[in-house]
Structure 1
Amino acid sequence: MTAALHTQVQVKPQSQPGAEVVLLCSGLGGSAGYWGAQLPALLEAGYRVITYDQRGTGRSRQPLPADYRIEHMAEDVLEILRAEDVSRCHFVGHALGGLVGLQLALDQPGRLVSLSLINAWAAPNPHSARCFDARLALLDHAGPRAYVEAQPIFLYPASWAAAQAQRVQEEVEHALEHFPGADIMKARIGALRRFDVSERLAEIDLPVWVSSALDDVLVPATCSERLAKAIAGSLLHLQPHGGHAHNVTAPEAFNEALLGFLTRQIQS
C-alpha cells in the first residue's frame, strides 16, 4: 500500500517551530472532516494537527488489500508520519481510529508520545456486534441510503439529533454522496470486528487517556472502563451525555479534558 492518502497538516501561523504533533484518526466513516469540533481548539493551543481520509474513503478512494485488517490501517499512519517527517505524535482515535492507535501502541510505541482513545474497545462485544449486524443488513437489503440514514441513530443522542435535525440531514446527504461502496464498507467493518488485543493491553507503556460517553448506544461505556483498568496508568474520562460521537455533540467538555491530558504530557 504505497499510494498517498489525502492528508491535511494544519498549524496556527504564530505557533513555535517544532510544535508538538497531534494526529487525529476517525472512526468507521474514515473522514478527516469528522474532527471539525476539535481542530480550532488544538490549533489555538499551538499544536500541529494532522488529519486524513482513510484508505478507501473520502478523497483517498483506493482499493483495499485482501483480508483488510487494523494492522493495514496502522501502517498507513506510519506512512503518513514518514511522509510528513514526524518522528513521534500524540495519537487521538475515535472508535475504529482508537483500534488503530492501540495497534500502534503495541507494535510501534516509539512513534507515539501519547494515546487518546474515544469510545474504543479491545475486543468484540455482543451488543456492538448486534448493531453492526443490523447495519450490514440494511446495506445488503435496503441499500446505501438506508445504511446512511440509520447512521445518526448510532452516533448521536436522540435529543441532540432532533435539535440538530437540519445539520444531521446534511451530514446524511454528504455521507451518501461520498459513500465508498458496499465492498469497502464491509471490509472496514470486518477489520474492526476481527480486532482483539484484550490479552495484550498490559504491554502498553505510554500515557493513555480513555474517553467515553455513558449514553453511547453503539459501544458500551464498559468497554472504555475495561481499557482504562487494563492499561496501567491510564486516565478515564466519562461524559454522562453525548453518544458515540460525544466529541461532536459535547465538544466543550471533551476538548477541555483532551487538552488537559495533552498539556500534562508536554509538562511532564
Structure 2
Amino acid sequence: MSLTYDVHGPADAPTVLLSSGLGGAAGFWKPQLPALLEAGYRVIAYDQRGTGRSPGELPRPYSIAHMAQDVAEILDRTQTASCHLMGHALGGLVGLQLALDAPARVASLLLINAWSKPNPHSARCFDARLELLARSGPRAYVEAQPIFLYPAAWAAAHAEQVQGEVEHALAHFPGAQTMQTRIAALRAFDVDSRLGDIAVPVWVAAAMDDVLVPWTCSQRLAQGLPKATLESVPHGGHAHSATEAPAFNAGMLAFLAKVAR
C-alpha cells in the first residue's frame, strides 16, 4: 500500500512535515500551508495510511510506531534528512514516537492538543464515538465529529462550512474497521515515562476549551519535555489551528523562526 504525499516550496529550505489527527488527511492543514510557504519553508503534507489518498487495510495490531515508520519512509523518499514535525492530536503522537525512535530525523516538534498518555475523559469521548459508529453507522459518526472539533459558537457561525466537511468526511470514510484500528492505536499510546528522552525544542499548543483532549495533557507535555514551550489559548476548540488560524499561525511561525533559521 502506497503513501500519498505532497511536497511544496523550495528544495533547499528547512522542511516542515505536517501530520494530521484522526482524520489523517493532508487537507486539514489548509489554514497553515500558505503561511508556511510565504515564510519560505519546504512543506510535506501526507494522507496517513488507510485514509484519504492512501487507502488500504492496516496491519493488526496497529500502533503509533507504525505511523512513525511511515513518516520516516516519506522522509527517505523525499530525501529529507530531518524535519520540523507539526502534528495535531494523533499526529502529535506520531511526532513524539518518531523523536524517540529516530531522533536524528526530528529537528523540532510542534504539538497541537496532543498527549503523552491516556486519560479517562478522552477515553469516554472515544467510547461514545465508537458506539455511534457501531450502532448507527458512518453518517452518525461523522455528524458528531464537529462537536469534538469545534467550539459551539464557531460551528454555528460556520454551519455551511461544517456541513460541507461532514459530507466530505462521509464520502471519504475509510471504513469502520480502519477507524476502529486507528482509535485503538492512539488509545494505547503511552510515552509519558520517556518524555525526558526527547531533547529537541518543542512548541506545545493547546486550547483550554478543547472538549476532546483536556488542555492539562498539553501542560503535562510541557512539564515533561526538557525543551518545551507551552502556548495555551482560552478559545478555539480541538481544531484551534483552524478556528483561530491567524493567531495560531503567528505562534507557529515565531517558534519556527527560532529553531529553523
Q: TM-score, normalization: structure 2?
A: 0.99
How far the C-alpha of 1:223 sits from its partner, in A, is 0.1
Q: In the alignment, which residue of structure 2 is the partner of 1:246?
A: 240
Q: In the alignment, which residue of structure 2 is the partner of 1:10?
A: 8
Q: In the alignment, which residue of structure 1 is the partner of 2:40?
A: 46
Q: 1:230 aligns with which of 224, 228, 238?
A: 224
**How many Å separate the matches in 2 of 1:36 and 1:241?**
20
Whether 2:135 is the aligned partner of 1:115: answer no
How far the C-alpha of 1:39 sits from its partner, in A, is 0.2
**How many Å separate the matches in 2 of 1:266 and 1:102?**
18
- Identity rate, percent: 64
Whether 2:186 is the aligned partner of 1:192: answer yes
Superposition misfits of 4+ residues, deviation over 6 angstroms = none
* Structure 2 gap ranges (5+): none
Q: In the alignment, which residue of structure 1 is the partner of 2:152?
A: 158
**Matched letter for residue 250 of structure 1:** E
**How many Å separate the matches in 2 of 1:4 and 1:142?**
31
**How many Å separate the matches in 1 of 2:5 and 2:197?**
30
**Matched letter for residue 151 of structure 1:** Q
* Structure 1 gap ranges (5+): none
Deviations along 1:21-41, one digit per CA (max 9) or x if unpaired, are 000000000000000000000
The total of aligned residue pairs comes to 261
Q: 2:15 aligns with which of 15, 18, 21?
A: 21
Whether 2:97 is the aligned partner of 1:100: answer no
**How many Å separate the matches in 2 of 1:75 and 1:62?**
17
How far the C-alpha of 1:266 sits from its partner, in A, is 2.7
Whether 2:81 is the aligned partner of 1:87: answer yes
Q: In the alignment, which residue of structure 2 is the partner of 1:183?
A: 177
- Aligned to 2:230, the other structure's residue is in SS state strand
**How many Å separate the matches in 2 of 1:63 and 1:129?**
24
How far the C-alpha of 1:233 sits from its partner, in A, is 2.1
**How many Å separate the matches in 1 of 2:189 and 2:137?**
26
Q: In the alignment, which residue of structure 2 is the partner of 1:33?
A: 27
**Matched letter for residue 235 of structure 1:** T
Deviations along 1:54-74, one digit per CA (max 9) or x if unpaired, are 000001002101100000000
- Aligned to 2:193, the other structure's residue is in SS state coil
The two structures, once aligned, show a CA RMSD in angstroms of 0.7
Q: In the alignment, which residue of structure 2 is the partner of 1:60?
A: 54
**How many Å separate the matches in 2 of 1:135 and 1:37?**
26
**Matched letter for residue 22 of structure 2:** L
Q: TM-score, normalization: structure 1?
A: 0.96
**How many Å separate the matches in 1 of 2:79 and 2:193?**
33
